[in-house]
């Protein structure tokens, strides 16, 4: 399904903001992500990456400002947005008490995949992500395989934009590299736009055509990794730039308790 305007952007936000009580998690964020790009949203813990992603995936209503995904407004037409996107959250989104295949099967029904195409689409997605034990219960999968299954799960509906929240957290270097390869292929073969968040600067440099740096909910920098590394005539790595931007850790805008629990859980499950 194409967006309802001719814009060449997969994601467009305008002054997008989200406040929780007095705390502003995302502050007037304005950015565009081109169709077919791999975009990385970077920033320290609690900088608003996940909140941004939850607004773009229609899970969280913005406090002000607007956002369009694949041409559809996230508030005005959430169902159209949902039909066009895939989302792999940081947390476990596959049901551990079902098999890999069953997880995709249930998903295919929720996404209104016609009965006649269901099997074929599921097998295609499993095949693409290299899931070789679709009949096993997910709780017996390894961390890397769960991640790949979760991506396979979101491929069944052939989304135009894929959102990945810290996709490689807790994976070992080999599993991480496998995942990178899959993401690059997805972009090439399926012409998919990928919007991801990450803490790993080498991951951003490796994968993303464009990155945005968030700090305390504000967009500090936007550009290709090369541009950012050369900015101001001074050569530095993304890692150094990250430390420059993040500055001294500020106890008040660090992780909330719930976030710590969540990311520790994610790490434990992949570890």
Partner 1 sequence: MAKRLAELLATWDQTVALAEAELRKLRHDPIELFTRIVQPLLWLLIFGKVMDRIRAIPTGGLPYLDFLAPGILAQSALFLSIFYGISTIWERDSGVLTRYLVSPAPRWTLVLGKALGGGVRSLSQAIVIFGLAAALGVQIRWRVETVLAMLLFTLLGSALFSTLSLIVACLVKTRERLIGIGQLLTMPLFFASNAIYPLQLMPAWLCLLARFNPLTYLVDALRALMLARSQSSLGLGTDFAVLALTLVLLIALAARLYPRILL
Q: Which residues bind partner 1 (CB under 8 A)?
A: 57-60, 79-80, 82-83, 85, 87, 89-98, 102, 106-107, 109-112, 114-115, 137, 153
- How many residues are listed for the chain in this entry? 271
Nearer to partner 1, 104 or 205 (CB): 104
Q: Read off the tokens for 178.
A: 């496998």
Q: Measuring CA to CA, which residue among 190, 205, 116, 166 is closest to residue 150?
A: 166
Nearer to partner 1, 114 or 233 (CB): 114
Helices (H) and strands (E) in the chain, counts: 10, 10
State the nearest-atom distance from the C-beta of 222 to partner 1, in Å.
26
Alpha carbons 51 and 86: distance in angstroms, whole number: 16
State the nearest-atom distance from the C-beta of 110 to partner 1, in Å.
4
Rg for the chain, CA atoms, rounded: 18
State the nearest-atom distance from the C-beta of 123 to partner 1, in Å.
18
Alpha carbons 48 and 41: distance in angstroms, whole number: 10
State the nearest-atom distance from the C-beta of 208 to partner 1, in Å.
22
Nearer to partner 1, 109 or 264 (CB): 109
State the nearest-atom distance from the C-beta of 108 to partner 1, in Å.
9
Nearer to partner 1, 27 or 84 (CB): 84
Are the C-beta atoms of residues 67 and 11 closer than 8 Å to each other? yes
Nearer to partner 1, 137 or 222 (CB): 137
Alpha carbons 145 and 138: distance in angstroms, whole number: 9
State the nearest-atom distance from the C-beta of 154 to partner 1, in Å.
8
- Full DSSP string of 79-139: HHHHHHEEEE-SS--S-TTSBHHHHHHHHHHHTT--HHHHHHHHHHHHHHTT---TTSBGG
Nearer to partner 1, 12 or 150 (CB): 150
| Residue 184, C-beta contacts closer than 8 angstroms, at least 6 positions apart | 38, 207
Alpha carbons 52 and 57: distance in angstroms, whole number: 9
State the nearest-atom distance from the C-beta of 262 to partner 1, in Å.
9
Only one residue has tokens 């967009």, namely 219
Nearer to partner 1, 93 or 255 (CB): 93
């Amino acid at each position: 399904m194409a967006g309802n305007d001719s814009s060449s952007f997969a994601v467009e936000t305008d002054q997008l903001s989200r406040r929780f009580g007095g705390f502003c998690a995302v502050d007037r964020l304005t950015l565009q992500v081109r169709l077919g790009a791999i975009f990385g949203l970077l920033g320290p813990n609690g900088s608003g990456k996940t909140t941004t992603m939850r607004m773009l995936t229609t899970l969280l209503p913005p406090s002000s400002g607007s956002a369009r995904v694949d041409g559809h407004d996230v508030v005005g037409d959430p169902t159209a947005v949902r039909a066009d996107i895939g989302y792999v959250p940081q947390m476990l989104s596959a049901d551990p008490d079902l098999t890999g295949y069953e997880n995709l099967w249930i998903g295919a029904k929720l996404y209104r995949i016609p009965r006649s195409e269901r099997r074929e689409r599921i097998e295609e997605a499993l095949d693409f992500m290299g899931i070789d034990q679709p009949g096993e219960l997910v709780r017996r999968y390894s961390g890397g395989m769960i991640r790949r299954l979760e991506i396979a799960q979101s491929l069944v509906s052939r989304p135009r934009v894929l959102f990945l929240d810290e996709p490689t957290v807790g994976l070992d270097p080999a599993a991480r590299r496998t995942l990178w390869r899959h993401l690059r292929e997805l972009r090439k073969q399926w012409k998919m736009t990928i919007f991801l968040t990450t803490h790993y600067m080498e991951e951003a440099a490796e994968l993303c055509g464009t990155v945005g740096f968030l700090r305390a909910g504000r967009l500090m920098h936007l550009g290709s990794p090369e541009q950012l590394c050369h900015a101001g005539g001074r050569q530095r790595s993304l890692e150094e730039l990250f430390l420059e931007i993040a500055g001294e850790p500020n106890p008040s805008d660090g992780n909330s308790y719930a976030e710590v629990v969540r990311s520790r859980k994610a790490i434990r499950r992949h570890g």
